[in-house]
């Protein structure tokens, strides 16, 4: 492997990427070239400690006042296309209810915060090159409220070169030059904030607190009581975690580093093979990251200034082919970072265990059917909740992925009533009448 970064830097400069983006990728490549282990062994960590309970914190805290809301920005990661569900546009433009998309709900939530505060509460969408045009075209309907101006609401995600596995240099693929690039993971939020100028712009306008979450997680709603607690806590960085279940055992988990007691994240790609049983032990490692983060922007700027403008995040190395649809094309490294891993960078960083209702992502058609049903209620402020009949527990929906993998396949299934259902399993092609009442455990097989 080569430690010559000049060709990589030239390629990134050639497409106009910022100095912050280039320096962040230089760090990632440097980690790879150094041959330092990117694995986190079980012997080096302990189960997560000092995890506070969300319900206890918000019950004892008054809602944030207008002044505090005016110092806050809502940041949504909006770079995904949802290709695994057959989408070729921004995933946030997927309809959840008739005529209502993820993006509509995000805007409604921010509009509600603005009404409460009587002032501007900022919204910032981190779009990718793939989602920017679709997203901004859709937001034209909210032009009167200032959501249609990219200069007011959009920050573009960076891209990084795919690297050859033998020489660690930018891959050349003339057949489709777009495939020479890949997304850098959501850890890119830090160089994107700096390189775009948004970090300074927000701080200069008096914005001090950021609530960051994925645009497809409808449970990630700004809670004004928690905002006040966060502001008063003095912590520079708080991660929302929730308890792992058997369904989550292959996902990353929170842990405590033995060497200094610092909370860290460990993803499965960072786990040695011999430690996988411990990694998947949900009684030992009880919490996973929801990707809902609260960040003090002034502390972020101070940290970056003290570390050469770079957030030194752990690097995840993925081995792919340059054309993911053609196994015969050259193998490449795709380097990624995770934004939640920054929990290890800040002294005083904390984790808070939140109810599962704050983690409600849509990754499959099963998730989408549940959202489209009457088990999920969305109010006029864009906030999501479960119907009273659910008793606080969301129905489990399991659709055969061989039949119901693509969004369009749901059109032939129909949307039954699920508010009185504990579990719905569909293993064959079927057609429900719209609103067809179901109860208990239902299996179509």
Q: Catalytic residues, which ones?
A: 363
CA dist list (Å): 210 to 142, 202, 231, 271, 404: 22, 10, 11, 30, 37
Report angle CA 165, 169, 174 to the nearest 5 degrees: 95
Measure the N-to-C terminal CA separation of the chain; round to a whole number of Å: 53
Please report how many Cα atoms fall inside a 13 Å half-sphere around the Cα of residue 14, on the Cβ side.
10
Q: Contact, 358 vs 220, CB < 8 A?
A: yes
348 within 8 A of 263, measured Cβ to Cβ = no
Residue with tokens 């499959």: 364
Q: 212-230 burial, b for 16+ CB within 10 Å, e for fewer?
A: bbbbbbbbbbbbbbbbbbb
Q: Please say whether the dihedral angle defined by the alpha carbons of residues 121, 127, 131 and 133, taken in this order, is positive or negative.
A: positive
């Amino acid at each position: 492997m080569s430690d010559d970064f000049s060709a990589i830097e030239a390629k990134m400069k050639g497409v106009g990427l910022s100095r912050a983006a280039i320096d962040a990728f230089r760090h990632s490549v440097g980690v790879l070239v150094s041959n330092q282990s990117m694995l986190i062994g079980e012997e080096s960590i302990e189960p997560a400690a000092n995890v506070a309970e969300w319900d206890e914190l918000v019950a004892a805290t008054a809602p944030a006042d207008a002044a505090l809301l005016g110092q806050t920005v809502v940041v949504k990661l909006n770079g995904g296309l949802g290709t695994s569900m057959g989408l070729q546009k921004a995933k946030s433009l997927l309809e959840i209810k008739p005529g209502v998309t993820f993006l509509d709900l995000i805007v409604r939530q921010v509009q509600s915060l603005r009404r409460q505060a009587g002032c501007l509460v900022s919204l910032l969408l981190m779009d990718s090159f793939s989602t920017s045009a679709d997203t901004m075209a859709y937001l034209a309907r909210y032009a009167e409220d200032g959501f249609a101006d990219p200069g007011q609401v959009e920050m573009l995600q960076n891209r990084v070169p795919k690297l050859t596995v033998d020489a660690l240099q930018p891959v050349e693929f003339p057949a489709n030059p777009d495939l020479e690039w890949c997304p850098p993971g959501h850890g890119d939020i830090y160089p994107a904030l700096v390189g775009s100028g948004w970090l300074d712009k927000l701080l200069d306008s008096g914005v001090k607190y950021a609530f960051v979450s994925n645009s497809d997680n409808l449970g990630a709603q700004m809670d004004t009581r928690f905002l006040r607690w966060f502001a008063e806590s003095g912590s520079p960085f708080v991660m929302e975690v929730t308890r792992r279940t058997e369904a989550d055992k292959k996902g990353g988990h929170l842990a405590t580093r033995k060497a200094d007691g610092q909370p860290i994240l460990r993803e499965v790609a960072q786990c040695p093979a011999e430690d996988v049983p411990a990694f998947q032990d949900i009684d030992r490692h009880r919490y996973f990251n929801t990707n809902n983060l609260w960040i003090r922007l002034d502390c972020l700027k101070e940290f970056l200034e003290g570390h050469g403008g770079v957030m030194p995040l752990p690097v995840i190395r993925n081995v792919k082919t340059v054309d993911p649809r053609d196994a015969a094309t050259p193998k490449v490294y795709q380097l990624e970072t995770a934004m939640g891993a920054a929990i290890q960078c800040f002294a005083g960083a904390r984790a808070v265990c939140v109810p599962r209702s704050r983690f409600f992502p849509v990754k499959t058609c099963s998730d989408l059917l549940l959202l489209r049903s009457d088990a999920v209620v969305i109010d006029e402020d864009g906030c999501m909740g479960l119907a009273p009949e659910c008793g606080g527990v969301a129905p489990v929906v399991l659709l055969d992925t061989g039949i119901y993998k693509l969004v369009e396949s749901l059109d032939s299934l129909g949307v039954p009533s699920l508010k009185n259902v504990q579990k719905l399993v569909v293993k064959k092609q079927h057609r429900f009448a719209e609103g067809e009442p179901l109860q208990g455990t239902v299996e179509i097989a």
